[in-house]
Chain A
């Protein structure tokens, strides 16, 4: 990791951790993150590393994932930290967790919809069996204090009406459509959470993430902002595929990780919180922002099956409940998030 990248990540952590007195409650605690080597796991590790170094909190972190070797290759500076222990394990085959664990962040399972449509059965299995195994193992943990289940906005189904999606929103999912397997699987996983909370009194809180952007977010993932930035870095054209009026919002990576850790402390058992930015932007405007940030001469192309759309897809969370209950705020603007992501990727290429 170059000094420039290290500096960028440290600056991000510093900015997002502007109000961290609450984290004293995590001092000397042991947190286990399933799917711990992914985007969310890496950022939780960065924030915990920052907190341990600046606040001397002595938080220990178990990162559980199928391929921990990849983590060692991708982020050797994190893999070398004494407070991080890696567990090479597929949640589908998990039986027991380390007894010392106090907090679980269950984030296993990829949100990459290419994998969902190519491997729908494995997707369902990961969320059903994986969640069942984690929660079952959690019932045997003597010092367990909180489980944070990382669900998904896809449980809300289709939304074309609501400007901002509340935690109580009930959209529709086409059960007969293989593209909706991720949302269906996440609903099954939330149902399991409800069962284990009710029957076994496990202290479970649910987060429903929307879209994020930032360092460690693979630009090859099939999401508009990632692909726009990749196209821009490659010199363009930036390609808008589908309806450019589609509305999304993006929470910056380090803010996301701080919100997750604050949910661990402030989240109410049995409650559900949206995790995302409430600042909407159309894909057309997003492409223009990225173009401006990289090179205003880059071409933007729109490719769409239709000339006119009767509905506009809109995925923006209502976050007032999250902000108040978890005591969080967005510290990075979208412009800031875009420019820092671009810089990180450019530095990482060198």
Chain B
């Protein structure tokens, strides 16, 4: 029997990290339309850190949440409109209600991998409104398989219809993915998913290992457009899935066309695995830090690679962007 894999295309959300959250309405419109035409099941849109995250701390969006979501909604007819929500950045009253009123279909409520407790109210609210709710555990390389299962079980109880673990730092090797996805599939009732980053060149291999281990949900982006070294490249992933007998409902030529369009219209530079991305992946640092690390390191004349190594030692997580300057200042001090 052919196994169905549910694909979420995060180009217009994770890709926003790659351009310091400067995607404009035109880019959102053209890519959403192309993804819709290709039959992508879920198109995720928003600030890199999700709904309500535009801020000095993690970066200001060029366009606000309402504009992004209304634009995407207008250009999606078959595809579902998805958002990434981190409680704290996004509040129910200020952000979530408005997003659902605009017509968001799928809400993926995320927390750091050991803090699922903060997702209860948001997941519950989305289910109350009859929309699809998923739980997302970010920076999942920082927790053991058994801890991930416990945290994921909480999200399942809170109402999540599936749990996605993110390799936010691009730190996983296939053996890590196999261990964690297998444990989650055995420990949960709901489907399990995987969101890859490509710092060590493993995004496609890790995604395929995830489904071989029982995952049913995968994330990917056009040309891998995403934070740091980027994500699993959607057009490659679809090709490999088709070749290995999985079905996604996505038209292969359609997604090739969408990716070509994204390269031309959406991304200033196609993601590559830069030297500092490799160090970032090895150090287990959140890929969303890449732009900040590059900018601050350059400003103070320190080696980005040293910054990543120190950030990795301090086990910083998404939302702790202010630690980057602290680390850079320490490196400057020690240099003297």
What is A's interface to B at a CB cutoff of 8 Å?
Answer: 113-114, 117-118, 177-179, 220, 222, 227, 230-231, 234-235, 239, 241-243, 303-306
Contact = CB atoms under 8 A, between A and B. Distances in A.
B158 interface: yes
B283 interface: no
5 contacts: A117-B153, A118-B117, A118-B120, A227-B127, A305-B185
B213 to A, nearest CB: 11
A235 to B, nearest CB: 7
A304 B157 contact: no
B130 A243 contact: no
B184 interface: yes
Contacts of A306: 185, 214
B127 A305 contact: no
Interface residues of B, number: 26
Interface of B: 117, 120, 124, 127-130, 150, 153-154, 156-159, 161-162, 184-186, 188-192, 214, 216
A178 B184 contact: no
Contacts of A179: 150, 153, 157
B120 A114 contact: yes
Contacts, number: 59
Given A230-B130, A305-B192, 12 more contacts: A114-B154, A114-B158, A117-B154, A179-B150, A220-B124, A222-B158, A239-B161, A241-B189, A242-B190, A303-B161, A305-B188, A305-B191
Contact of A303 (B128, B185, B191, B214): B191
A220 B191 CA distance: 21
A120 to B, nearest CB: 10
A80 B154 CA distance: 39
A222 B191 contact: no
Nearest to B150: A178
Contacts of B124: 114, 220
B191 A304 contact: yes
B83 to A, nearest CB: 19
B157 A242 contact: no
Nearest to B3: A307
Contacts of A239: 161
B184 A222 contact: no
A303 B162 contact: yes
Contacts of B117: 118
A91 to B, nearest CB: 23
A235 B131 CA distance: 11
A305 B153 contact: no
A182 to B, nearest CB: 11
Contacts of B130: 230-231, 234-235
A167 B162 CA distance: 35
